[in-house]
Amino acid sequence: MAITLAKGQTINLAKPTTGAGLTKVRMGLGWDTKTVEKRSLFGGTRLVQKAIDLDASALLVGGGQVREIVYFGQLRSKDASIQHTGDNLTGAGDGDDESITVDLTRVSSWVEHIVFTVNSYSGQPFTDIDNAFVRVVDSTDRDSELGRFTLTGSGLHTALVMARVSRTPAGWTFTAIGTPGQGRTANQLIPLALQSL
């Protein structure tokens, strides 16, 4: 059962039934192509689908710096612990349109935080996006959902720092962030991601 998280709330990534730490988590991003009414030259109207390109990214932070980014242009981290499923340019289809899977047992020791971001590569604000969501799931337990954020209609921003997974002496933790910002690429979100630490 998904936990409804408030901004800034942190949970320990341990299974509720056993207390053992999770080994794999996945961030899923989903949205739908927006249907808009378009006027024709002769006064009629028709419905057309407006393609919107959202991108999910994972920023790997160590020593207070973003040292690597996993996104549609680099689908795998250098240590192979983080895998992006690839770029969806339109949001067509049901369920998660883009996903990033993290094998927490394989993450390099220098990684202190993994910051998950979402940006509108096509530049539309989130008010123009239909049925958009970001969710974090436990990939070790049949993709049981840990938390979800609704993005649709949430504001004129084009990007969002969604969440952070952090290494602690007691294990990994997950923190809901939900900080809006402006940016069309993950690189443009580096300052906002570092502010979330």
- Would you say residue 69 has pLDDT above 70? yes
Q: What pLDDT is stored for residue 136 in this prediction? A: 80
Mean per-residue pLDDT, 63-86: 95
List pLDDT tens digits, range 178-192. 889 999 999 999 999
Where does the pLDDT of residue 3 fall: very low under 50, low under 70, confident under 90, or very high at 90 and above? Answer: low
Q: What pLDDT is stored for residue 16 in this prediction? A: 47
Q: What angle do CA 92, 93, 94 make, to 5 degrees?
A: 135
List pLDDT tens digits, range 57-66. 999 999 999 9
What is the CATH code of the structural domain delimited by 10-195? 2.60.60.30
Q: What pLDDT is stored for residue 146 in this prediction? A: 76
Beta bridge partners of 91: none
How many percent of the chain have pLDDT more than 70? 78
- What secondary structure does DSSP assign to 102-157, as a single string? EETTTS-TT--EEEEEEEETT---GGG-EEEEEEEEETTTTTEEEEEEE-TTS-S-
5, 56, 57, 103 from 74: Cα distances, Å: 30, 12, 10, 17
CB atoms within 10 A of CB 187: 14
**From CA 191, how far away is CA 65, in angstroms rounded?**
10
- Would you say residue 90 has pLDDT above 70? no
Mean per-residue pLDDT, 82-89: 79
Domain limits, the chain: 10-195
2 Cβ partners below 8 Å, 6+ apart?
Answer: 135, 144, 145, 146, 147, 148
Residue with tokens 């047992």: 105
Q: What angle do CA 177, 21, 1 make, to 5 degrees?
A: 60
92 Cβ partners below 8 Å, 6+ apart?
Answer: 32, 33
Mean pLDDT of the chain: 81
Q: What pLDDT is stored for residue 73 in this prediction? A: 92
Residue with tokens 């337990």: 141
Q: What pLDDT is stored for residue 17 in this prediction? A: 45
Q: What pLDDT is stored for residue 5 in this prediction? A: 59
Q: What pLDDT is stored for residue 181 in this prediction? A: 93
List pLDDT tens digits, range 115-169. 999 898 988 888 887 777 778 887 776 777 877 777 766 678 899 898 889 998 8
**Structure letter (DSSP) for residue 74:** B
Task: Name which residue leads in pLDDT, 67 or 2.
Answer: 67
Where does the pLDDT of residue 176 fall: very low under 50, low under 70, confident under 90, or very high at 90 and above? Answer: confident
